[in-house]
Structures are given as C-alpha cells and as structure tokens.
Amino acid sequence: MSEEIVDDAFMALTDAFVQMANENSSEMGSVKAGAALLFAATRFNAFVVASRSRDIGELKADRDIALSHFSDQHAKMLAENLDDYEENFDRYITKYRTV
C-alpha cells in the first residue's frame, strides 16, 4: 500500500473497523462479519466514485476504471495480509485455537 495513505490515523481507523468486526464475530460468525465489512467498504467506495463524478455520464464512464482500481487494490491488500498471516501464524492464530 502507498506510504502516502498509510499513516497513524489510517491505521487507527483500520484497527477500529477490525475491532468492530471482531466484536460482532462472536454473535454472527467471522465469515458473515467479514462479508459485512467488505460490503460496507465496497458501498462506501461506490459513494466515493459517485460523489467525485460531475454527472451520471461521468459516473458511467468511470465505472470500469473504478472496478479495476478497487479490485486490484483489494487483491493486493489481501495478498499482503495473507503474507503477514503466513509469516506470523503462530502469533496471530495458534493462540486462539482451543484444540
């Protein structure tokens, strides 16, 4: 991720979203909480794209660019986070296992 975007405020907001998902995971399950978090992110990003458009024509014209950009960003961020979990599996996951 770009160093311009990742700062202390960015990480604090990210941690707040993850904490909210974790708190809801016990009641609704981690898969559903993760899906809700992903849906919220995509809904907000659609708002960002639409709110930067001058009119519906521009929004429609920017659709493929937005889909490509956000899809690429999601794939890159997911890969980076999976790498992190692979490198830190014992620290992140094993301690939560009960079996």
pTM for this prediction = 0.82
- Which domains does the chain possess? 27-96 (1.10.287.3020)
Q: Read off the tokens for 24.
A: 């809801």
* Paired tokens of 91: 């620290």
pLDDT in tens, 10-38: 999 999 999 999 999 999 999 999 999 99
Tell me the torsion sign for CA atoms 36, 58, 75, 48: negative
Question: What's the CA angle centered on 2, arms 30 and 51, to 5 degrees?
Answer: 75
Among the listed residues 80, 60, 62, the one whose alpha carbon sits nearest the alpha carbon of residue 72: 80
Task: Name the token pair of 13.
Answer: 């907001």
Tally the C-alpha atoms within 13 A of residue 2's C-alpha that lie toward its C-beta.
Answer: 3
Predicted pLDDT at 6: 87
Q: How would residue 4 be classed by pLDDT, with cut points 50, 70 and 90?
A: confident
